[in-house]
Every structure is written in C-alpha cells, then in structure tokens.
Structure 1
Amino acid sequence: MIKIVTKLLLKPLARAVYRPVVEGLENVPRKGGVILASNHLSFIDSVVIPLTAPRPISFLAKAEYFTGQGLKGRLSRSFFKAIDAVPVQRGEIHLAQAALNAALEVLEDGHAFGIYPEGTRSLDGRLYRGKTGVAWLALTAGVPVVPVALAGTEEILPVGSRRPRLRRVTVRFGEPLDFSALHGQARSARARRQVTDEVMAAIHELSGQDLAEVYNERPLAA
C-alpha cells in the first residue's frame, strides 16, 4: 500500500514541485540486479534518485529511521519503506563489509541498489576518488553498473539545514557499464581498482565536476 501511494502520489508531487531534469532513463535496466553508482552532494540524494528512477532503487539507511515512535516515527518509517531503503543498525552503517553484505542481498534478489563510491558527501562540489566497494559488489554479484550524476541537490538541503528548499535539480543516468569479463575477481585489488576507476570516470563525464583526486574522508568528531 505504501509503495502504491509513493508511485501514484509522491513521485508526481515531487516532479511537479521540483521539476527535475531527468536524462537517460532508458539506460536503467528495467529488471534484474543492477548498481546505480552516483556522485554525492546532499543527504537528499538518496531521495532524489529513487523518485526519478524508472524502477525502485534501494539505499542503506540507519535503523533508527524505521523504529521511531509517535507520528514522526510513523512518517519516517513509512517514507523510508516507500523508497525501498534497507535498514542497517547504528554503527554498522560505517562498517564497509556489513553494508556491502546488505547490498549484495538486494542485488542477488534481482533488485537495484544505489551506492556512492565517494563514501560521503562532497562539501566543496568536487568529485572525489572512488572507494572500491562498488567494484566488489559488481564483481561479486555479476551485475552491471549504471553511472549517475546529480546536480543541484546540495541547493535543496544544504549542510546544516533541516528544511528543504525549492531548487531545480538534474539527474543523469549513464549507459550501463559491463564488467562481466572480470566477474569472480572481487578479491583482486587490481580488478577492484580498475572497475572503480572506470565507474568514477563515467560519473565524471556525466557530472563535469572538478576532480579532487584524493579520497573524501569524514571529518573527525571534536
């Protein structure tokens, strides 16, 4: 019921309000496991992609979003279920292998999974070097990778802001990348690096962002 409401109400409403520019929908396979690898500019990215993609896309989300109490908790739970988010226990979301295992289950069930190879949001708008989790998933599951480029999402929900703003965004879905020739080589560091670099090059071609050429590390807590 929740997903029906999302499809019939939330998607058309979001499109009407934000009027996103969406390109390359034909590049997203309509069935079977597939990874959507995107640049990452805002928390809202994990909402924008599912609302503009032609099929349900799962992202990881903290388990707290599914267990809240009262009206706010029910609304949060309903929303994240509606966009096919996968709950991960607090703390576990920062453990790469635990997160990858949860993503692998989604792909093996024939569904689509969204991932940000940069690992965390870019605060300066540059495209950072990709981490190899996306390659491990692609080579282990044997699925294609669709590069995705977002533009303008950082204007909807800037860092530190709690209320979304009305801004127009662009979502570009690139042509699927086929790594079947390397299937089964997930344990090879060279293969993972090769696949990841090809994915990031495709994202860069779509986004046109300046390259940081370093990893984007989370700032240490004070």
Structure 2
Amino acid sequence: MTDDVQAQSAEPGDAPVRPSWVYTLGRVVLAPLARTVYRPKMEGRENIPPKGAVIFASNHLSFIDSIVIPIAAAPRPVHFLAKSDYFTGRGLKGWFSRTFFTAVGAIPVDRGAGQAALDALDRQREILDTGAAVALHPEGTRSRDGRLYKGRTGVAYLALETGAPVVPIGLIGTDRVMPVGAKMPSLTERVTVRFGEPLDLSVHGPASSGKARRAATDEIMTAIHALSEQELAGVYNELPASNTLEKIRRALPHERR
C-alpha cells in the first residue's frame, strides 16, 4: 500500500487517522493556492475550535463542498468521507485522483445504504475518537434546486455518541463555482463560507433515543438555514427509487440516517 493512503484506510477498526506526506503537502500548498485563486469570503472562523473532536455540518450544493470546508478551516485539519472509487483507479488518472483526495483530507469508504452506511458512521466515530475534525452534510446528497432539505439523523447520532460539538456551516455560491454536471470549477465565481457557533447537542438526550436524534438534527438544520439563507424544502432530498424494493422501503416508516 502506498505511503499516501496507508493512513487513510476505509476499514472500520483501523488505526487512527495520521496525516500522510501527501495530506501535509496539500494543507501547505493547496489550501493557500485555493484561497488565492477563489478569494472566498469567510465569516465566523473564530467559531472553529482549535483542537479536539468537532463535527462540521453544512448544506450541500456542489461536489466541491467537502473540499471547500477543509480549505476554509485550515490550518485545522478536517477529514471527510469520499467513495472508495476515487482511491482505486489505475494509471495516471487513478494516481492523480488518489493523490488529490488524500491531499484534501478525504477518507475512502464504500458508499450506500444498509451496512455500508453503518460502516461509514463507525469510521467517522473512529476519526472523532482520535480528537480530529470531520465534515458532513446532513442532507445526504446535493440539492439540485438550491433549497435546503431536511437533515438525516446520522450527524446528530455521531455528536450525541461522541460528545463532539457541531459547528454549523452555510455555504453560498459553491453551486455556481461547480454546478451539477460540470467537469471543472469556474474561476470567476466566489464562495462565501459562514461558520456558526458550536452546538452542544447533549441537552437533547442520548444517541440511543430516536427523539433525541431527531431534535438534535432539527437544531443543526435550523442553524445551517440561518447561515445559508436558503429556501426550505420541507422534505428529504432523495434520488428516485431505482427499483420496486426501494420504493417499498421508502414507503415504510423508518429513520433517515
């Protein structure tokens, strides 16, 4: 296994995240370069805890959202989950993808529902247990119409389970920098990143309580809405069901993680 990914394994139970030379180089080179090129407007950076476990929870408008947050939060290291396909490609393209995502703090995981979703939660909890920071999108998938959708309870579960505070983030303009379907980001648009005050969600109860997870999630989404100023959708952001079984599953009462 190459040096740039040896500390970024996707398997639950692995050793704590340790910065590789590629990630260190990314923090030193990519973050300042991106801030120079895009000149992002950053508000509330004083709300970023300088150390200790923390969850950054933001709205989701573009593919680049998870990359913008680590850049805006630098020098604080921030990790986010990315599908494992970005780390397994071959040839020059595969090397570039693997190197880039490692440099910006991505952790490879198998994306999906069921056991894959539970494994992703376990991996994020392991990262938080080391005192590191993670970035997550409670909406789950990108908003294609610019509205803010209902949050899923996975972020709240992590916060209640680990005791980590949640810093809400409002991203504005990332959908113009890289709209859905775009191959490359625009160099003419600017992004605004608003960091809210850290939220202590422990008042809602234990992670084992569905009522506590839902209340904590709603508090997170209310804070994100105040920062992003998006129109509220009032529903979950879900892609069309791919088969009959999925349609039945969605029709049954269940908690959206």
TM-score range, shorter chain: over 0.9
Gap regions ≥5 residues in structure 1: none
Q: Which has the larger radius of gyration?
A: 2
- Distance in 2 between the 1:93 and 1:103 partners? 16
Does 2:179 match 1:150? no
Indicate if the aligned counterparts of 1:50 and 1:83 stay in contact, CA closer than 8 A.
yes
1:101 corresponds, among 122, 125, 129, to 122
Structure 1 residues 158 and 175 mapped into 2: Cα distance closer, same or farther (>3 Å)? same
Task: Name 1:201's counterpart in structure 2.
Answer: 222
Task: Name 2:68's counterpart in structure 1.
Answer: 48
- With 94-103 and 24-33 compared, the bigger mean Cα shift is at 94-103
1:15 shift after superposition: 0.9
- Distance in 1 between the 2:115 and 2:190 partners? 31
1:32 shift after superposition: 0.9
- Distance in 1 between the 2:234 and 2:64 partners? 24
Q: Secondary structure at the match of 1:211?
A: coil
Q: Secondary structure at the match of 1:177?
A: coil
The one-letter code sitting in structure 2 at the alignment partner of 1:116 is H
Q: Deviations over 1:163-211 (max 9, x none)?
A: 111210000110000123346x111111001100000000011111111
- Distance in 2 between the 1:94 and 1:203 partners? 28
TM-score under structure 2 length normalisation? 0.82
The one-letter code sitting in structure 2 at the alignment partner of 1:197 is D
Indicate if the aligned counterparts of 2:38 and 2:191 stay in contact, CA closer than 8 A.
yes
- With 88-97 and 10-19 compared, the bigger mean Cα shift is at 88-97
Gap regions ≥5 residues in structure 2: 1-20, 244-257
Task: Name 2:211's counterpart in structure 1.
Answer: 190
Task: Name 1:24's counterpart in structure 2.
Answer: 44
- Kindly report which structure 2 residues correspond to 1:204-215, keeping only aligned pairs within 5 A, or say none: 204-215=225-236
2:200 corresponds, among 161, 178, 183, to 178
Structure 1 residues 94 and 42 mapped into 2: Cα distance closer, same or farther (>3 Å)? farther
- Distance in 1 between the 2:36 and 2:115 partners? 35
Q: Secondary structure at the match of 2:42?
A: strand
2:153 corresponds, among 110, 132, 147, to 132
Aligned length: 221
Q: Deviations over 1:105-140 (max 9, x none)?
A: 111111101111111101111111111111100000
- Kindly report which structure 2 residues correspond to 1:62-141, keeping only aligned pairs within 5 A, or say none: 62-89=83-110, 91=112, 95-141=116-162
- Distance in 1 between the 2:234 and 2:113 partners? 27
TM-score under structure 1 length normalisation? 0.94
- Distance in 2 between the 1:86 and 1:148 partners? 20
CA RMSD between the two structures: 1.7
Q: Secondary structure at the match of 1:59?
A: strand
Give percent identity, aligned residues only: 58
- Distance in 1 between the 2:118 and 2:53 partners? 19
Structure 1 residues 172 and 116 mapped into 2: Cα distance closer, same or farther (>3 Å)? same
